[in-house]
Structure 1
């Protein structure tokens, strides 16, 4: 009777269960390329429904083997966004889970820190994810389905003499979906326009400059320049007090005003350097322009004239 009572303490405490998907959320393509993004799942498929009655010994194991048919999150154009998998929210090498290799959650005090030892509360095991910088990918929804083989073998209970009276030894495979939405984004380098000083409107020199833009790989876009803060009669104007100085910004080296609506905008395929769709991080497209002070206007009063023009990018 005593032996039967003690044996009843050794019962299966763990099982595999449906996972909770992990989602990096909605991230700009620039951040996806330059900054590590993090996410996690609170439930990677191993569910322990009662107390693990002992401290884990070197012969106890909680193995996870992660595998997939792809090497990362796959997007609509076939681009792959790579990331690392970790057993905790630390990115130290000891917690890195390599695909195709067993990782033992019984080591490095992971199971202990999760509170599965000597805790009768139902628990699941989380897994953490961090992207790898340098992911130069197109916009869209990225996802990957991971297969996780869980294998566990530990002493589920001891008698009063400290002898193991039963081991929980089993395994199971679950699937886990990881996803991220990559949004179009750009970086822009647009220097100020300075006409310098001149005694008359006809004496101002033409300014020839360029705007450099780096946008999401594979995305076509247009670039617009608005009319500024003081436009009148179809011309941009700088202001000094109550006085105005008319000027404009023209596409390339021509005489067509670069505007913000319809055909007045510039297409990414119209860039002087690297025309076409966006190339993503690290490769800019260059748009040349020239700016002139209109010479058919009366000379305004002396002063410092200023205007602000908004550049916008549309996808």
Structure 2
């Protein structure tokens, strides 16, 4: 005489079957499969120097690319393999919200980021440190063979400002954990499977000291008899990278002999004049020790004033007199 299992009995049987399936799934995820165990895989990311002569005054955004290589041998034919390459903050550190940095002189930092896409919109993340975003899923199929060799582009971006301190900057990635295994649809949250640790790779850039100057014309206007001093002034802007010492010199012009004996010319006649560092016209501005104007850069424009004087002298024939003076900034 047969009997039919009660509803409670059926539920227990189903629950036990589910538990067995769950244990089996956990066992597969927690340990490499026989296909994985037989395989030998490696991964690497190339080191990149984003530039060795970058000026903070003009660099702005600097883009470059690196290459991630993933290769395996001893694979099972037709069985896809996926790599989950996690990247942390690197030695340059981060701001705790996913922004990576390169670190430079005296601990100064410059924003740096690693991206999955050429548009630099999707940062390269980590399944372990979720603040850096998602991890790209790199999948390859050996086909009918037993090996794969995949190259993936890694997109880099350095963001400088005019106030970035010049010097050598870098960030290194050591002991990164790359997970790999049988075809994974997505690397999001994957922290199991076989692991790879690529050799240390470094991203670097060198920002150089730099200066620029601009100045207006020094015009004495319309002058009659040169029986008294005639004064004029004009402005100069000097822009040097942060903490960069500079000195600005003015040559003697096209036909002058000193900072106070420059000469404006018309035909074969001259008008003598000088350029000074101070409003009282007591400190000549020229070249050489004690004659230049110096300072330290701030990453922005710093204003200076050139004070000109035409002293009393014999008046030449009426004409338009001119000269050209070259300003040189040394840093």
SS at match of 1:31: coil
User: What is the alpha-carbon distance in structure 1 between the residues aligned to residue 162 and residue 272 of structure 2?
Assistant: 45
Report if aligned partners of 1:223, 1:313 keep a CA contact under 8 Å in 2: yes
Aligned in 2, Cα 1:181/1:233: closer, same or farther, shift over 3 Å?
closer
> Which ranges in structure 1 are unaligned for 5 or more consecutive residues?
1-6, 157-167, 269-276
> Which ranges in structure 2 are unaligned for 5 or more consecutive residues?
1-33, 95-100, 185-191
User: What is the alpha-carbon distance in structure 1 between the residues aligned to residue 235 and residue 119 of structure 2?
Assistant: 44
Q: CA deviation at 1:181?
A: 1.0
Mapped pair 1:24 → 2:50: yes
TM-score by length of 1: 0.73
Mapped pair 1:286 → 2:303: yes
Q: Which of residues 163, 178, 184 is equivalent to 1:150? A: 178
Compare CA radii of gyration and give the structure with the larger one.
Answer: 2
- Structure 1 moving runs of 4+ over 6 Å: 7-10, 50-57, 118-121
Report if aligned partners of 1:248, 1:292 keep a CA contact under 8 Å in 2: yes
Aligned in 2, Cα 1:152/1:136: closer, same or farther, shift over 3 Å?
farther
Report if aligned partners of 2:228, 2:311 keep a CA contact under 8 Å in 1: no
Q: CA deviation at 1:54?
A: 6.2
Q: Who is 2:244 aligned against?
A: 219
Mapped pair 1:138 → 2:180: no
Report if aligned partners of 1:81, 1:135 keep a CA contact under 8 Å in 2: no
Q: CA deviation at 1:202?
A: 3.9
Q: CA deviation at 1:124?
A: 3.5
Q: Who is 1:103 aligned against?
A: 134
SS at match of 1:77: helix
User: What is the alpha-carbon distance in structure 1 between the residues aligned to residue 165 and residue 36 of structure 2?
Assistant: 55
Report if aligned partners of 1:198, 1:204 keep a CA contact under 8 Å in 2: no
Q: What does 1:191-206 align with in structure 2 at a 5 Å threshold?
A: 191-202=216-227, 205-206=230-231
Aligned in 2, Cα 1:258/1:14: closer, same or farther, shift over 3 Å?
same
For the aligned residue pairs, the C-alpha RMSD in angstroms reads 3.3
C-alpha distance after superposition, 1:214-259 (max 9, x if no partner):
2111122211111122223662122223332221110121322101
